[in-house]
Structure 1
Amino acid sequence: MEEHEKTFITLTIIGALIGLGQLLTGAEPITIKLFIGRVILGSATSVAAGAILIWIPDLSPLAITGLASALGIAGYQVIELWLKKRAITLLKGKFKQ
């Protein structure tokens, strides 16, 4: 397995663990839908940290992991809030007709 594949897998696992941690610390009841959604969002935002390699190609794996953790937490929150707002807007427009 090549280095970039190992990094991708590591970032995905970090994001999934962040999503699980946020799920377990929340006050909402845990459902399978919520579980899967948070794991996917956490993984996707953490893997997005790999895009920093476009600007800084020689970045160390530790720095990439730190960015992945930060994006996995902050990015996940922003994406979830945006999706909720978007869903509410779409549902309101749908019921007006």
Structure 2
Amino acid sequence: MQENDKYFVWLLLLGACIGLGKLLVSSEALTVRLCFGRAILGSATTAIAGAALIQIPHIDPLALMAIGSALGIVGAQFVELWLKKQVNKINGG
């Protein structure tokens, strides 16, 4: 496995952990659907940090993980809020 592939896998795992961690500290009831949804959403938004590898090929792994964490947390919150607004539009008017 190439170095960039390893980083990508680490970013996916990091994002999944962020998503599950957010779920564990929330007051929402734990369901299988919610666990998978948060893990997928966290992984997808964290994987965007892989774009940093394209711009800065020799970026330090710790810096890449920090970018991935930030994007995973902020990106997942943004996507969740956007989706809730879309559902409210559909249901409310």
Normalization by structure 1: what TM-score?
Answer: 0.88
Q: Deviations over 1:35-77 (max 9, x none)?
A: 1110000000110011122322321111111000111111111
In the other structure, the counterpart of 1:54 is 54
Unmatched 5+ stretches in structure 2 = none
In the other structure, the counterpart of 2:34 is 34
Unmatched 5+ stretches in structure 1 = none
Shift of 1:11: 0.3
Residue 28 of structure 1: SS of its match in structure 2? coil
In the other structure, the counterpart of 2:85 is 85
Structure label with greater radius of gyration: 1
Please list every run of at least 4 consecutive aligned residues from structure 1 whose deviation after the TM superposition is greater than 2 angstroms: 53-58, 90-93
Shift of 1:5: 1.1
Instruction: Report the identity percentage.
Output: 52
Normalization by structure 2: what TM-score?
Answer: 0.92
Native 8 Å contact 2:23 2:35 kept in 1 = yes
